[in-house]
A and B are shown apart, each in its own frame.
Chain A
Amino acid sequence: MNNLLEGKDLKFSIKGQNIIDLEHIYLKEREIVSLIGVNGAGKTTLLLTLSTLLKPHRGNLYFKGMLIGHEIKEQDYRKNISLLFHENLFLDTSVFENVAIGLKFRKYPRQIIEEKVKDMLKLLNIYHLKDRKATTLSGGEAKRVCIARALVIEPKILFLDEPFTNLDTPSKDEIIIDMGKIVKEKGISLIIVTHDKYEALRLSDRIIVMEKGKIIQEGTKEEVLHYPKNSFVASFFGVENILEGKVIEQKDGEMLVDVYGNLVEAIGNFNKGTSLLLFIRPENIFLYKDVKHIKTSVRNHFRGKILEINNFGYYYRITVDCKFPIVSYITKSSFTELSLKINDEVVIGFKATSIYSTEKI
C-alpha cells in the first residue's frame, strides 16, 4: 500500500534546541497511528508540522507521493485534512454553524452543507443539539460536536491532539466507538497524539514512541507492547518490572543473567558481559506462600517480603522486596486464598519466557 502522507528528514528547532528531528515518518491509507511520549517529546509539534500548520526548518512532506508546496499547494493539501485539539475551540454560535464551518471554507452550496451537517449530527447522536449555542454544551456533547466538525468535511487524514482528555470513561468509550465507526466507514486515516496507553492500544494499527523529538520505537501494538526498546516504552505500556543485569553465560539462546547479585534465567542471544534491561509484566509474576507450590516451568524464583499492597478492586498490586523490588498483579480470589499481609514472607516466580530483554544503552 502506498503512503498517504510521508515526512522525510524533518527538523524543527527553537533557539538551537531540536524539538523534532526525524529521518522518516509515514501514514498509510486507512491506517491509525498513535504518537506517544512524555510532555516535550515533540508530539504536538510533529502533528502541526505534518498538517503544514508549522513550517519545519528542514525536510519535506509528501501527500500521495506529491511534494507539498511544490507538486501540490499547501492550501490544497489542507483541504484533505482535518484537525482536532483537546480544547473545544468553538465559534460563538450554534452547534450547526460550528459543524458547518469546514464545509463553508470549502465553499460548498448551502443545501449540501445542510444535508452533510444534519447527517453527521445524526451519526454522532447530537442532532437534537443543532440549535444550541456550542459554548453551553457539556464536556461529552462538546467533544461530539468537535468530532462532527472535524469529520463532516470527510478528510483523508484526521490529526487528533489528545482528543479525549478530561472526558469521563463511559463518555470516552462511547465517543471512541461512534468515531471509530465513522472513520472506518469513510476510510479516514488517523494520527493521534495521546498520553493514554489504553487509547493508543485500542485505536491504533501502529504506535510511534517519541522522546526528545526523535522516534525511539515504532511498530504494531503487539511489537511495542511485548518488545519495548527501552524502559520508557516499557513503563508506558505497563511493564512495571524493569531489572538491570549482566549476561554471565549464554548458550543456544538461553542466558544466565546477574541481576543485583541474583541469577536469572532468560531467553536471548546476547553475548557474555552485555548489560541488559529485563522487562517483566506484573501479570506474569507468580506469587506463592511456599517454594513447594512452584511449578517446574517457572525457572526463576526468589524469596522476599511484601512491602506494599494496593487494592484495585478486581485485582491486587503487590510489591515484594527480593533484594530488588518486584511488582505482581494477582486476582482478588488468589489474594483471599493466600491471605497476604504486609511484611509476609513470600516467594515470587516468573518464567524465562516471560522476560523480554534488550541491551542497555
Chain B
Amino acid sequence: MELFIEALTNAIHLLLSFDYDTYIVIWLSLKVSFTATLISTICAIPLALYISIKQFRFKHFILSSINTGMAMPPVLAGLFITILLWRNGILGRFNLLYTPQAIIIAQIFLATPIILGISISAFQSFSKKFMLQILGLGATKFQLFMIMIKESKLTLLCAIMAGFGAIISEVGASMMVGGNIKGYTRVLTTAIVTETGKGNFELAMAYGIILLILSFSVNMILTKIQQKNKTQYE
C-alpha cells in the first residue's frame, strides 16, 4: 500500500513538474495510438459496411478470420510486422523498423479486426427491409450508408473505444517493432517494462497510473458522447 501511495505521489509529481522524459513518453503513446485508431477506423468502417451488405464467396471464412483477429496476441502481430519490415522483408526498403511508424503499423494490425468485427455486427443488425425502406424514401446508396453509420454510432463508438483500449495497453508489438528507443519509440507500456526490469517499481507504477489516467480520460470523453446520444430523445 505504501509503495502504491508513493507511486501515485510520484506520478502526480512527474505530471505537475512537466518532466520532459515523461511527457515525451506520454506524447508518443498518445500519438501512435490515436493515429493507429484513426487509420483503423477509417479503414474498418467502410469495409464493415461492404462485408455486412454484400454477399460473396468465402464471406463466412473472412468473418471467422476477423473474429480470430480480434483476439490476436500483440506479440504475434509484432512478429509479423517485424518480418515484414525486416531489412530483407517485403517492406524492408522503407527502413521503418524501430520507428514510431512501425508501432503505428503494428497497432493498426491489432485495432482493425476489433473495430471491424464490432462494426460488422452493428451493421448486420439492420434488417433488409430497413435498408429497402430507406432506399424507397429516395436515398442514394451513399445516403443509406451514412444513415447506417449514424444509426450505429453508439456501437461504433464502442468499437473505437475497444480498439483504442487494446492498443494503448499492448506492449509486445510496440516493444518488438519499436525497439523501445528512449525519446523516440519508448511508449508508456514499454517504459513500464523497462523500469520494472531495472527495479524502479515506483517509476514503473507511476507510468502505469499515468497510462490508466490517460486511458480513463479518453474513454470517459467517448462514453460521454455515447451516452449523450443515447439520452437525447428519451
Q: List residues of chain A with CB under 8 Å of any chain B CB.
A: 48, 51, 53, 75, 78-79, 81-83, 85, 87, 89, 91-94, 101-102, 105-106, 131-133, 149-150, 153, 159
Cβ A105 vs Cβ B140 within 8 A: yes
**From residue A96, how far is it (CB to closest CB) to chain B in Å?**
10
A159 — which chain B residues lie within 8 A by C-beta?
A: 136
Cβ A93 vs Cβ B233 within 8 A: yes
With contacts A82-B138, A105-B139 known, what are 17 further pairs, Cβ within 8 A?
A: A51-B136, A78-B136, A78-B138, A79-B138, A81-B136, A81-B138, A83-B133, A83-B136, A85-B133, A89-B133, A91-B147, A91-B150, A94-B233, A105-B143, A133-B233, A149-B137, A153-B137
Q: A89 to B126, alpha carbons, bound, how many Å?
A: 10
Q: List residues of chain B with CB under 8 Å of any chain A CB.
A: 127, 129-130, 132-140, 143, 147, 150-151, 232-234
A89 — which chain B residues lie within 8 A by C-beta?
A: 127, 129-130, 133
Given A85-B129, A89-B129, A92-B151, verify A133-B136 contact (CB < 8 Å): no
Cβ A78 vs Cβ B129 within 8 A: no
Q: A131 to B139, alpha carbons, bound, how many Å?
A: 23
Cβ B133 vs Cβ A153 within 8 A: no
B136 — which chain A residues lie within 8 A by C-beta?
A: 51, 53, 78, 81-83, 159
**From residue B14, how far is it (CB to closest CB) to chain A in Å?**
44
Q: A101 to B146, alpha carbons, bound, how many Å?
A: 12
Cβ B140 vs Cβ A102 within 8 A: no
Cβ B233 vs Cβ A83 within 8 A: no
Listed A/B pairs (24) with beta-carbon separation below 8 Å:
A48-B132, A51-B136, A53-B135, A75-B140, A78-B135, A78-B138, A82-B136, A83-B136, A85-B133, A89-B127, A89-B129, A92-B151, A93-B232, A93-B233, A101-B134, A105-B137, A105-B138, A105-B139, A105-B143, A106-B138, A132-B233, A133-B233, A150-B137, A153-B137
Q: A85 to B233, alpha carbons, bound, how many Å?
A: 24
**From residue A90, how far is it (CB to closest CB) to chain B in Å?**
9
**From residue B201, how far is it (CB to closest CB) to chain A in Å?**
48
Q: A96 to B83, alpha carbons, bound, how many Å?
A: 55
Q: 6 tightest CB-CB pairs across the interface, nearest first?
A: A83-B136, A133-B233, A102-B137, A89-B133, A105-B138, A105-B139
B233 — which chain A residues lie within 8 A by C-beta?
A: 92-94, 131-133
Cβ A87 vs Cβ B129 within 8 A: yes
**From residue B117, how far is it (CB to closest CB) to chain A in Å?**
22
**From residue A323, how far is it (CB to closest CB) to chain B in Å?**
49
A91 — which chain B residues lie within 8 A by C-beta?
A: 147, 150-151
Q: A26 to B51, alpha carbons, bound, how many Å?
A: 37
- For A51, A53, A83, A106, the residue with the greatest tally of chain B CB atoms inside 10 Å of its CB is A83
Cβ B139 vs Cβ A53 within 8 A: no
**From residue B174, how far is it (CB to closest CB) to chain A in Å?**
38
**From residue A1, how far is it (CB to closest CB) to chain B in Å?**
25
Q: A101 to B144, alpha carbons, bound, how many Å?
A: 11
A82 — which chain B residues lie within 8 A by C-beta?
A: 136-138
Cβ B234 vs Cβ A83 within 8 A: no
A153 — which chain B residues lie within 8 A by C-beta?
A: 137-138
**From residue A238, how far is it (CB to closest CB) to chain B in Å?**
31
- For B129, B132, B133, the residue with the greatest tally of chain A CB atoms inside 10 Å of its CB is B133
A83 — which chain B residues lie within 8 A by C-beta?
A: 132-133, 136-137
**A75: nearest chain-B partner, CB-CB:** B140
Q: A159 to B136, alpha carbons, bound, how many Å?
A: 9
Q: A132 to B232, alpha carbons, bound, how many Å?
A: 10
A53 — which chain B residues lie within 8 A by C-beta?
A: 132, 135-136
**From residue A352, how far is it (CB to closest CB) to chain B in Å?**
49
Q: A212 to B89, alpha carbons, bound, how many Å?
A: 62
**B136: nearest chain-A partner, CB-CB:** A83
B138 — which chain A residues lie within 8 A by C-beta?
A: 78-79, 81-82, 102, 105-106, 153
Cβ A101 vs Cβ B151 within 8 A: no
A102 — which chain B residues lie within 8 A by C-beta?
A: 137-138
Cβ B137 vs Cβ A133 within 8 A: no
Q: A51 to B133, alpha carbons, bound, how many Å?
A: 11
Q: A86 to B30, alpha carbons, bound, how many Å?
A: 49
